[in-house]
Chains A and B, each alone.
Chain A
Amino acid sequence: MTPNGKPRTLFEKVWNSHLVRAQSDDAPAVLYIDLHLVHEVTSPQAFSMLRERGLTVRRPDQTIGTMDHSTPTTPRNELGVIPVSDAMAARQLDTFTRNCRDFGIPMYALGDEHQGIVHVIGPEKGLTQPGMTVVCGDSHTSTHGAFGALAFGIGTSEVGHVLATQTLLQNRPQTMAVNVNGRLGDGVTAKDIILAVIARIGIGGGTGRVFEYRGDAIRSLNMEGRMTVCNMSIEGGARAGMIAPDDTTFAYIHGREHAPSGADWDAALANWRGLPSDDGAAFDKEITLRADELIPMITYGTNPGMGIPIDATVPAPESENDLNRRIALDKALTYMDLQPGQKLLGKSIDVVFIGSCTNSRITDLRQAAKFIKGRKVADSVRMMVVPGSQQVKRQAESEGLDRVFRDAGAEWREAGCSMCIAMNGDQLEPGQYAVSTSNRNFEGRQGKGGRTFLASPLTAAASAVAGAVTDPRPMLAGLT
């Protein structure tokens, strides 16, 4: 609480403790940034700007680089190197290497044992911690909010600002409590929670706001599930989503490479325990969902808000009263080649993608592998499994998950963003349908003309086996 006793939210506590200068009528707040993650795609123009103006990176010790977006996920060659065949990607990666070296920023290059998707490596190395401000030139930076950090995506100009000054100009956002109460049923996951939230509020529902996910269904998620939820906050329009840190959070962080230790750990813990929103803290807006009413979710359209329970039918444009929305839905169904009233269950698919910063962590892979074990991927389906980082890949291999996927007929790849963004050659062909565990189903996102159904790793695995969109729940018997 504040000295005058006014209850504060988690967001307010983190925001206030990072104010280098408070917001005024004339200017936004100046916010201090604890951790800056950089990658090859949104940084080159920022580094060029530093060079043009003769500036240095203020805090290379609070900055970390990794290669992820445009990197190939194809196998290593006999020298243990992952070859980059795309000349433009190769040049971008070289530029990134040179920039990090020249400006003294630690960086994990392609194939390095720590390399991976930027939002997977921050948490797994213990860099992401409660109460921090974390930014990256990537909208899914919201992922790190799972630790009770204020984490959000920025543009390339802002990447330059943070590199040069470790600060950002920000107008204070509003807050929105997203309460998820009750117990999730078997086969219903964190991904289904967030797809249901976005279907409810729409993709602009969180614009100008920071979410705080609350309620016992959120508390009962492990850190990886919480990251899945926070990851897609931006898909609801919110730049950041946060979850109050608790013992689950602390247990995850403890002992990781960059986590505090000894007396520092005790001090950090005391601080972190004070972060959760105070009783009675006010949010600008609030919504509530019942977890026990959720079933697996899937999207049918061309934005993540176009989601339905997996057994529901595709909505009809005529049922939309708003003209703009009717046009949008009509356009989406044309692109997806779906009919109003059609069921997605049983719709045959061509590709299954398990990966991305939403669902490529070890528990995601374990869930999918447990399901796939002893089963076969349908002949008509190409299934790709892309671990989020080299560390996840090693862990999965040490548990034999790679064999499970391979034996079932899936591809087991190197770490990276891969078909989530289709910059690296991993992509859908025009007209193909995919069930994907990633976060965006925009037109062409996974390859020009490709059509994406977003779903959980369990739904993706079940659909891979059946060769069609499938509810995983009836096939779960005996798996838990």
Chain B
Amino acid sequence: MEKVKRIRGSIVAIPVNDIDTDQIIPARFLKVTDKQGLGKAAFCDWRYLEDGETPNPDFVLNKPEYQGASILIAGNNFGCGSSREHAPWALLGAGINAVISTEFADIFRNNALKNGLLPIIVDEDTQQQLFSLADEDPTTTLIADVESQTLTLPDGREIRFPLDGFSKYCLLNGVDQLGYLLALDDVVTAFETSNPQRVMTTA
């Protein structure tokens, strides 16, 4: 994973609660065997008209003033639904590097962090303020700093967001968790030796 220290970018808002992973990327795009090219499918059913190709001019991500936005501000409880890691892959593919909401579904949050997509939790007042900002001034730029766990608003106000120590360490150092687990090989073997196997074989 690439290191993620600081994300600076313009914002776009989808003020909808409970955006589920079927909206982030519909299931029909999950027949792939790699992670590439999923950006086109992000929010596909909202982003394109009936034919699935013509951009829906009313959808915020298609508006010229929001092109290039890399920080998405969403309604409450973002990323509920399925465990598909295709959701963060699609968002990253669409140029989104951070999502701001009041709450994230557990699996989405885990998946996002493993791919360097930053989930930023703010309170409802801040969320509403950001919705207005995005609406009034599409050039609004935010800075999310991982080390200090702060989100800097255009007026200079700094808002602290929660991030567990381990995820922070992994983001800052570009560490992937598999390396950490592989290094515990002996400990796992010891565990296996002292705990009887539950299912003798799946074959």
Main secondary structure of the interface of A (DSSP, over half): loop
Given contacts A35-B198, A61-B201, A204-B80, A154 and B107 within 8 Å (CB-CB): yes
In the bound complex, residues from chain B placing their C-beta under 8 Å from that of A158 are 110, 114
Report which of A17, A131, A208, A327 forms a contact with B16, defined as CB distance below 8 A. Answer: A327
Asked if A435 is at the interface (CB within 8 A of a chain B CB), the reply is: no
Q: Assess the B83–A20 pair: CB atoms within 8 A.
A: no
Asked if B26 and A27 make an inter-chain contact with CB atoms under 8 angstroms apart, the answer reads no
Cβ distance A289 to chain B, nearest Cβ, rounded Å: 22
Among residues of B, the one whose C-beta sits closest to the C-beta of A421 is B27
Residues of chain B with a CB closer than 8 A to A173's CB: 106
Known pairs A132-B198, A203-B77; A153 contacts B182 (CB<8 A): no
* A30 pairs with B184, CB closer than 8 A: yes
The bracket for how many chain A residues form the interface is 35 or more
User: Are B31 and A92 in touch, CB under 8 angstroms?
Assistant: yes
Query: A423 touching B22 by the CB < 8 A rule?
Result: no
A448 touching B45, Cβ below 8 Å? yes
B145 at the interface (CB under 8 A from A): no
One of B62-70, B135-143, B152-160, B173-181 at the interface = B173-181
Question: Which residue of A is nearest B166, CB measured?
Answer: A27
| Chain A residue contacts of B203, Cβ below 8 A | 61, 106
Q: Which residue of chain A has the shortest Cβ distance to B183 in the bound complex?
A: A165
Other-chain contact of B22, A30, A62, A164, A440 (Cβ < 8 Å)? A440
Do A92 and B32 contact each other (CB < 8 Å), given the known contacts A34-B199, A132-B198? yes
Beyond A25-B165, A327-B17, A423-B30, whether A155 also contacts B199 by CB under 8 A is no
**Which residue of chain A has its CB nearest to the CB of B169?**
A26
Distance of A239 Cα from B30 Cα, bound (Å): 21
Contacting residue for A423 out of B31, B81, B201, CB 8 A:
B31
Binds A, one of B4-12, B53-61, B187-195: B187-195
Please judge, given known A-B contacts A20-B188, A161-B181, A204-B76, whether A328 and B16 are in contact too, CB under 8 Å: yes
For A444, the chain B residues whose CB sits under 8 A away are 22-23, 26, 45
- Cβ contact of B105, chosen from A171, A237, A328, cutoff 8 A: A237
| Inter-chain contact B165/A26, CB cutoff 8 Å | yes
Q: Point out the residues of chain A lying under 8 angstroms from B77, CB to CB.
A: 203-204, 207, 237
> In whole angstroms, how far apart are the Cα atoms of A169 and B166 in the complex?
10
Q: Which residue of A lies closest to B34 (CB)?
A: A45
- B interface residues, tally (CB under 8 Å): 63
Contact between B105 and A20 (Cβ–Cβ < 8 Å)?
Answer: no
Whether A42 is near chain B, meaning CB under 8 Å from some CB there, is yes
Q: How far is the CB of A431 from chain B (nearest CB, A)?
A: 11
B contact residues around A132 at 8 Å (CB): 198-199
A residues in contact with B15, CB < 8 Å: 324, 327
Specify which chain A residues have a CB less than 8 angstroms from the CB of B181 in the assembled complex: 30, 161, 164-165, 167-169
Given the known interface contacts A28-B164, A208-B106, the answer about A21 and B184 at a Cβ–Cβ threshold of 8 Å is: yes
Query: Given the complex, which residues of A lie within 8 Å of B20, measured CB to CB?
Result: 303, 440, 442
Question: Which residues on B are within 8 Å of A, measured CB to CB?
Answer: 15-18, 20, 22-23, 26-28, 30-35, 45, 50, 52, 75-77, 80-85, 103-107, 110-111, 114-115, 124, 128, 164-166, 169, 176-178, 180-182, 184-185, 187-188, 191-192, 195, 197-203
Apart from A32-B195, A158-B110, list 19 A-B contacts with CB within 8 A.
A20-B187, A26-B165, A27-B165, A32-B191, A42-B30, A62-B197, A70-B30, A127-B202, A137-B83, A155-B85, A155-B114, A161-B178, A165-B181, A169-B181, A204-B77, A237-B77, A239-B106, A325-B17, A327-B16
